[in-house]
Structure 1
Amino acid sequence: MKIIASVILSCLMFISISVQSAGISRSVFTTEIKDKEPVSELKQIPSDITRVYFFTEITGLNGHTIIHRWEYNGQVLADVKFQVNGDRWRTWSSKNMLSSWLGKWQVSVLDEGGNVIEQSEFEYVAAETKEQKVPE
């Protein structure tokens, strides 16, 4: 009986570890993707940057679909759907920005059921003009 209980416990621990490792292992806002990696990690982005990328690294969700949902002022501006095709999958979406869209942005990562599995924010701020910069 002890052997059966040990085997069951070991199986449950393995299942628990597998489930915990599935999901988003990394998410980053950046201005560019090179060699499937973000070139920077930004929380505040100036409005002279006209394209923002949201990079995610996904583990343990091979065969599943995820969505990057871009929101501004509580309004959904884009849903970008991805098929995950590996146990470790790196993917990204991007949004062309208007300089008038200043403020807080949010990107949610949703699973097939519409459940939020990750959520990140950045602030789009007015770019400094040459007149605003202090001379050296």
Structure 2
Amino acid sequence: MIHSRFLGALSAALLLIVISQAPALASDLKITEMAVTTKIVKGNPIDSVRRISSSSVKALYCFTRISAPAGTDTTIKHVWYINDEQVAEDTMPVKGSHWRTYSRKGMEKGQSGEWRCEALDADGTVLKSVSFRVN
């Protein structure tokens, strides 16, 4: 009887250890901040673009702050669109519970229209999207 209780307790303890060591799922990622910005300074965006002239900047950045379970080691993808047509895609690592990353999109004159950048998890699920207009 004592032997079976001990084995039951040991099995439960081992199960907890296995669960706590399991890799984070892509669905466990949470975007806590996302912004398209004209510049990243000291790892943070300096502004949040809603409307901008294509002649006023050479590049825009999509900054993403992520909250994830401890020990996370996965990726996210930024997909850039102009007028619903994909124009760029960047894959970046996420290697911790509090992670910041960004992608860069070079801007050329004449790229006016409705823009958006989507953040996708490793499974391809859209976590968040930011829209802006380029004149």
Counting matched residue pairs gives: 107
Quote the RMSD (CA, aligned, Å). Answer: 1.8
CA shift at 1:28, angstroms? 0.8
In structure 1, stretches of 5+ residues that fail to align are 1-18, 126-136
Give 1:53's aligned amino acid: Y
Q: Is the 8 A contact 2:116 2:132 kept in 1?
A: yes
Give the Cα–Cα distance (whole angstroms) in 2 for the partners of residues 119 and 40 of structure 1.
17
Q: What one-letter code is carried by the residue in structure 2 that aligns with 1:71?
A: Y
Q: TM-score, normalised by structure 2?
A: 0.74
Match of 1:130 in 2: none
Q: CA deviation at 1:22?
A: 3.7
Residue by residue, what CA displacement relative to the aligned partner does 1:42-64 show, whole Å, maximum 9, x if unpaired? Answer: 21112221211110001116212
2: CA distance between counterparts of 1:73 and 1:42?
A: 17
4+ runs deviating over 4 angstroms:
none
CA drift at 1:65: 1.0
AA partner of residue 60 (structure 1): A
Percent identity of the aligned residues? 30
Please tell me whether Structure 1 or Structure 2 has the larger radius of gyration of its CA atoms: 2
Does 1:74 pair with 2:81?
A: no
The letter of the residue matching 2:60 is V
